Structure 1
Amino acid sequence: MMSRRMLIAAGLALAASGLVSCGAGEPLSREDVVRWIEAYGKAWETKDADAAARLFTDDAIYEATPSVNDQTFVGRSAIHTYWENITAGQSDVTVKHGEPLVEGDRAVVELWVTMRVPALNPDGDHWVTLIETNVLYFDGQDLVSRNVEYWNLLMGKASPPAGWGAD
């Protein structure tokens, strides 16, 4: 039986087949993606919408929920506004990332995010756990031109299972 990561890797390879490497320089590497996702995580943990927006191209598409128009943000300015609004009610954010899968100019990475969000979980300590997979389309090694998120939200603070995020 194929694991979830194997299925994601197979889908990524099929989607990226025939693509050339990103940009005019070196191909996108694992290190490029790790550097980007760590900056993304830091921007989230510090609620820094400016830093988050700088990770995207001027005309980037950010799909917080694919195919939902009011959850699709086009352009760095719209992404900035989305980040300001979405992180406003969050606190004690911790972002962990898995090992990225890279093919051509695309990468897939799993995120495990715990945070306090009273509006989502008004009971107890307000903890929620967001388990997310991001499909990232890079424009060169530094900026993302499209981010598509797929996620599940759990009430409470959960830890990743053994082996989570490994290649």
Structure 2
Amino acid sequence: MEKIIYIIPGLGENCNLLRYKKLAEALQFSGYKVNCVNPDWYMPISGQVFKIEKEAILLGFSFGAILAYLVAQKYPCKKVIFASMSPIQKFSFKELEKDFRRDIAPKLGKKLAKERGTELARDIKNIKISLKELQTPFITLVGEKEEEMMPADFIVPQTGHIMTNRYIKCIQKLV
């Protein structure tokens, strides 16, 4: 049986970044068929759920872990790895709206950034994460040096909120 894994990068990132290319290569070396998912970070995350195979593993980093949660909620799979899952419940609507507007403005312009920032913040605030209710087995990881540490099954030493070589090695051991 083919071993399949999906990689969902963090907010504003895509799988063309060197760190995700390294992750994909490491997982391919471990015998996995790697499917890289590049979310449209300018659109609501809840509308980007995609179908996956029951025997697939899903790996999401930061905001990508939020999308991984939504996917696994709708399409149970073999396992989900939540890497540095963004603690969305800790952010206020206003904080999210401000951050999204700031990050979107250079790409889409101020007028569209204002509308889209509000839409994205509303979408995130409507997402309710309850790992206890998830039907799919999961593992949580967090970097030792992260500012907003969520409870985790594994702590990646000497790592902050970024996909590093240490993170990649830890993930390789867990798949």
TM-score range, shorter chain: under 0.3
Decide which structure has greater helix share: 2
TM-score (norm 2): 0.25
Decide which structure has greater strand share: 1
Larger relative contact order (CA 8 Å, sep ≥ 6): 1
TM-score (norm 1): 0.26
